[in-house]
């Protein structure tokens, strides 16, 4: 087990500085353009692929960092550059992790390379879980997968929503209900290969922020996929369903919803994204306060401005520490007995919204214009308190965990 330390290793610092350089030199100069275009920034993703950032190898190296700090460090730096473009770069990782966590070795080797493509022909992937009536309430999922034993195929029907890269992805990973009587225990994940008939893009959402990231509905109309596209295989699924049915007969157990437990472990990464955006806005506000003069002196000499900056920096550092703690706990198998994953996401996301709003206020009229990036950062920050569990859901998870109650 890696000992907890507040000091990054030399290797971690080197990776951090490399990512920071890419964010400063490649992502930031392109941020305003792609936010206005509201399109996937393919040229930037390609540049990330060329240097090795957009790849499974890089993501895996950070994911398996024994300190747990690889992923949050990477997320903070990329999202410091720009949230929309960064999400376009890391969005494929959601689908890749789904396959890594549940797939067989053959499935991992077959599908993950197709998710990324290569530097000359980059591809993206989509993870499709949320539905119009089933966001945080995963037990209400309606997308069905029915097994056609005669053809050894699964038939998928339903509509997914809020899917990053949905419809434009080369590979889609779709969560569907295989046994509705078991609630969330009756779910399974499926690979939908490229150009599979019946899968189409529904509505593309025009968003308030993170506009360089493609978000859309995915419609599944009698989508047939081979039996080999069931992640983990049918034998493993049948065994899992049998255990769930047996527990249900005995009256069930007061255990965490499996999907909610997975979200709990991944939420620190979202917290790190929020920290990156908050830090970026704080740095712009700090520099502006040091150079902008009113009444013959820099506005940072004003206690009202200086105290805001002090609070902003304190909140950012506190959010980062919560993210690092939860990330260290996750990689070392420490149970989140107080929902520390949700704590980190809740505090960091709320911090991002507050800090970016304060940055706009410090810049005054300039902060309200698109000539300065804090306006975009403020819009981008709104998503952190919504996706991967709203702030209200985070508080519910924390409260139920502290009370020893099941999380449904």
Active-site residues, by number, are 388
224 DSSP β-pair partners: 155
DSSP 71-138: HHHHHHHHHHH-HHHHHHHHTHHHHHHHHHHH--HHHHHHHHHHHHEETTEE--EEEE--BTTBSS-G
134 DSSP β-pair partners: 131
CA distance 41 to 34: 6
- DSSP 8-state class, residue 372: S
Determine contact, residues 42/119, Cβ cutoff 8 Å.
no
Is 217 buried (19+), middle (13-18) or exposed (0-12) by CB count in 10 A? buried
The residue behind tokens 């950032």 is 53
Q: Is 7 helix (H, G, I), strand (E, B) or coil?
A: coil
160 DSSP β-pair partners: 218
């Amino acid at each position: 087990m890696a000992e907890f330390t507040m000091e990054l290793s030399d290797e971690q610092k080197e990776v951090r500085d490399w990512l920071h350089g890419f964010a400063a030199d490649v992502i930031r100069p392109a941020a305003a353009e792609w936010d206005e275009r509201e399109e996937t920034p393919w040229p930037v993703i390609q540049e990330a692929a060329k240097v090795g950032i957009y790849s499974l190898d890089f993501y895996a190296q950070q994911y398996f960092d024994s300190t747990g700090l690889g992923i949050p460090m990477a997320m903070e730096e990329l999202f410091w550059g720009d949230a929309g473009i960064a999400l376009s770069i890391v969005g494929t990782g959601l689908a890749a992790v789904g396959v890594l966590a549940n797939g067989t070795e053959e499935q991992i080797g077959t599908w993950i390379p197709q998710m990324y493509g290569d530097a000359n022909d980059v591809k993206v992937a989509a993870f499709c879980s949320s539905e119009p009536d089933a966001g945080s309430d995963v037990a209400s999922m309606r997308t069905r997968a029915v097994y056609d034993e005669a053809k050894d195929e699964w038939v998928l029907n339903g509509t997914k929503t809020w899917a990053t890269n949905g419809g434009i992805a080369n590979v889609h990973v779709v969560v569907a209900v295989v046994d509705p009587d078991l609630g969330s225990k009756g779910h399974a994940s499926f690979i939908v290969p490229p150009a599979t008939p019946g899968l189409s893009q529904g509505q593309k959402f025009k968003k308030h922020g993170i506009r360089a990231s493609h978000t859309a509905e995915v419609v599944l109309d009698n989508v047939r996929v081979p039996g080999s596209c069931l992640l983990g295989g049918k034998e493993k699924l049948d065994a899992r369903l049998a255990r769930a049915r047996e527990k249900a007969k005995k009256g069930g157990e007061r255990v965490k919803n499996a999907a909610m437990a997975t979200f709990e472990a991944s939420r620190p990464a979202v917290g790190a994204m929020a920290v990156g955006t908050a830090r970026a806005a704080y740095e712009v506000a700090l520099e502006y306060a040091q150079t902008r003069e009113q009444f013959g002196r820099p506005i940072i000499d004003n206690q009202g401005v200086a105290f805001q900056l002090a609070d902003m920096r304190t909140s950012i550092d506190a959010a980062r520490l919560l993210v690092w703690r939860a990330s260290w706990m996750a990689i070392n198998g420490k149970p989140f007995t107080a929902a520390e994953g949700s704590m980190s996401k809740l505090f960091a996301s709320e911090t991002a919204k507050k800090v970016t709003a304060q940055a706009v206020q410090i810049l005054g009229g300039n902060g309200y214009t698109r000539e300065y990036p804090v306006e975009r950062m403020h819009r981008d920050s709104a998503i952190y308190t919504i996706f991967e569990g709203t702030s209200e859901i985070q508080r519910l998870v924390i409260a139920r965990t502290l009370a020893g109650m099941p999380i449904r």
